[in-house]
């Protein structure tokens, strides 16, 4: 694989995972505001972007598996870091979403019982 082709794949991974990261952060804001349906949608959209990044990564792995020589570059290491940290961030955001829902439900239940 040519250096330029590898760089294109790396930048595509960075682009899609960066978009996903922004969506996750938008989701966090919606969670804090109690807008859980909208936050869930942001998490779904982030997952779609992560899947796009993962497809880029998979194409690179398939090329490597078929015997194509791939010379690793720093930009690809950066791209992989972007992808993996964003995937982890999304997983944590999904946990936070469930916690926010539970806290919100408990607060509403307390208001009903005490109100």
User: Catalytic residue positions?
Assistant: 78
Half-sphere exposure of 83 toward its Cβ, with a 13 Å CA cutoff? Answer: 25
Which ranges of 3-73 does DSSP label H, i.e. alpha helix?
3-32, 36-65
d(C-alpha 105, C-alpha 115), whole Å: 15
d(C-alpha 79, C-alpha 9), whole Å: 9
């Amino acid at each position: 694989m040519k250096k330029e082709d590898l760089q294109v794949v790396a930048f595509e991974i960075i682009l899609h995972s960066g978009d996903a990261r922004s969506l996750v952060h938008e989701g966090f804001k919606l969670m804090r505001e109690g807008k859980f349906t909208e936050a869930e949608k942001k998490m779904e959209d982030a997952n779609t972007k992560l899947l796009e990044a993962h497809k880029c990564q998979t194409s690179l792995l398939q090329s490597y598996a078929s015997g194509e020589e791939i010379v690793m570059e720093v930009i690809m290491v950066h791209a992989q870091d972007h992808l993996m940290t964003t995937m982890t961030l999304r997983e944590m955001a999904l946990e936070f979403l469930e916690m926010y829902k539970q806290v919100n439900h408990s607060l509403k239940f307390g208001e009903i019982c005490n109100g």
